[in-house]
C-alpha cells in the first residue's frame, strides 16, 4: 500500500510545513501564475524553513526568492517551457 507523502503527526513540523506549502502550490490560481508567495508562520521552526528552502533550491526548475517584505516566492516553469 502506498505511503502518504506527508504524515499527519503533529510532532513532525517539517512535514506540516511541507504540507502547507504543497496546499498553497496546488491552488488552480497559483498554478496559472506558476509562483506562490508564502511567509513563515509564528509557530513554524526557522530551522524547518531553512531546510525546506534548501531542499527546494536543489530541485530542478524551482526558483526561490526572498522578498523585502519577508515573503518567500517559490516559482516554477511549465513543462512546455523546459
Buried b (16+ CB within 10 A) or exposed e, 39-62: eeeeebeeebbeebeeebeeeeee
Query: Is residue 16 assigned to a domain?
Result: no
State the pLDDT at residue 77. 78
Asked if residue 82 is part of any domain, the answer here is: yes
Residue 67 is assigned to a structural domain of this protein: yes
In a domain? residue 5: no
74 within domain boundaries? yes
Predicted pLDDT of residue 54: 94
In the chain, % of residues over pLDDT 70: 80
| Nine-digit cell string for 36 | 506562490
Strands 35-38 and 62-66: unpaired
How many domains in the chain? 1
Indicate whether 26 belongs to any domain.
no
Give the residue among 72, 26, 24 at the shortest CA–CA distance from 46: 72
In a domain, 40, yes or no: yes
Q: Which residues on neighbouring strands pair with residue 66, listed in sequence order? A: 72
- Residues spanned by the domain of 69: 36-82
Q: Residue 3 falls within a domain, yes or no?
A: no
5-26: average pLDDT:
78
pLDDT tens column, 36-64: 999 999 999 999 999 999 999 999 999 99
- The three cell numbers of residue 81 are 517551457
Has residue 79 got a pLDDT over 50? Answer: no
pLDDT at position 25 over 80: yes
Amino acid at each position: 500500500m502506498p505511503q502518504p507523502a506527508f504524515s499527519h503527526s503533529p510532532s513532525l513540523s517539517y512535514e506540516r510545513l511541507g504540507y502547507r506549502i504543497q496546499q498553497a502550490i496546488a491552488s488552480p490560481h497559483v498554478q496559472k501564475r506558476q509562483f506562490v508567495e508564502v511567509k513563515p508562520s509564528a509557530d513554524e521552526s526557522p530551522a524547518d524553513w531553512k531546510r525546506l528552502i534548501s531542499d527546494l533550491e536543489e530541485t530542478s526548475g524551482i526558483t526561490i526568492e526572498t522578498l523585502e517584505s519577508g515573503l518567500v516566492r517559490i516559482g516554477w516553469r511549465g513543462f512546455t517551457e523546459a
